[in-house]
Structure 1
Amino acid sequence: MTVKTILLADDEASLRFLLTETLADEGYALSEAEDGRQAKEWLEAETFDLVILDYMMPELTGVEVCEWLRGSASPNRDIPVILLTAKALEKDKERAKAAGITSYIVKPFSPLQLIDDVGKLLGDG
């Protein structure tokens, strides 16, 4: 069985640590980015099975990264993208959907909810 790879981009180090540990325990291989520009660099350099982006990040927001990804020639352009956000307004969800976000998780959330979503999107759940 091949290990599924995930890029996790969030500017909050403690949340990144928690999610990396949680997802690694489930058998996923993770790469981390601390802002939108780093996420973009990872997506240009490596191939992933899934991306988890925080909405509000320095440099580029998660939505901007997803918009760029969907319009790029990157081998990652069609992979599932989960957006983590404290923005629960309908207009924010519409903007995310228009950008090509696959799944939208509002903070605070349970790591189990994230594992469930990741499993479904990667066909493991």
Structure 2
Amino acid sequence: MRILLVEDDVLLGDGIRAGLELDAYAVDWVRNGEQALHALDSHSYEACILDLGLPGKDGIAVLKEARSAGDRTPVLVLTARDTREDKIGGLDAGADDYLTKPFDLGELQARLRALIRRTSGTARPVLEHRGVVLDPRPSA
């Protein structure tokens, strides 16, 4: 599954990308709002992880512009902005989920899996067909 990561902090972005790749995601990582809009316009993603504090065009502007252009990519906002008003504003701008920094990588991965399941119409993470079972959850 292909994920768009929009994060300007190099250390944090590198850690998130590495963690998601261990969870079998292909990750395209961009570092500003303009690059995010270009990526969303150019590629198809299962989900987008979007920081709000980006250089140039901030994450809320990216989200509003993408949604008004008809982009339906599921978006998980990942930000240090943690007030109730920030969360409401992010969700009302079109985010599908909102997680504040600092965060646990396992929670981020679980929220991402849930977001992808919901938007793909699959409530259960385990898929079964003719005796073949696919379980995307990492083994313990």
> Shared fold (TM-score greater than 0.5)?
yes
Quote the offset at 1:91 in angstroms: 1.1
Matches within 5 A, 1:1-125: 4-73=1-70, 77-123=71-117, 124=125
Q: CA-atom RMSD, angstroms?
A: 1.1
CA distance in 2 between counterparts of 1:32 and 1:50 reads 12
Aligned length: 119
1:102 Cα offset (Å): 0.5
Gaps of 5+ in 1: none
Take 2:25 and 2:62, find their aligned partners in 1: how far apart are those partners? 22
Alignment partners' CA distance in 1, 2:92 and 2:114: 21
Q: Deviations over 1:17-74 (max 9, x none)?
A: 101110011111110101111111111111111000101000111111111111104x
2:55 counterpart letter in structure 1 = P
Highest CA radius of gyration, 1 or 2?
2
- CA–CA distance in structure 1, aligned partners of residues 80 and 114 of structure 2: 22
Point out which structure has higher relative CO (alpha carbons under 8 A, 6+ apart): 1
**Which segments of structure 1 move beyond 4 Å, counting only runs of 4 or more?**
none
Cα displacement (A) at 1:95: 1.0
- Corresponding residue SS for 2:18: helix
C-alpha distance in 2 between matches for 1:37 and 1:79: 16
SS in structure 1 at match of 2:49: strand
What amino acid is the match of 2:97?
S
Q: Deviations over 1:71-106 (max 9, x none)?
A: 104xxx112101111111111111111110011001
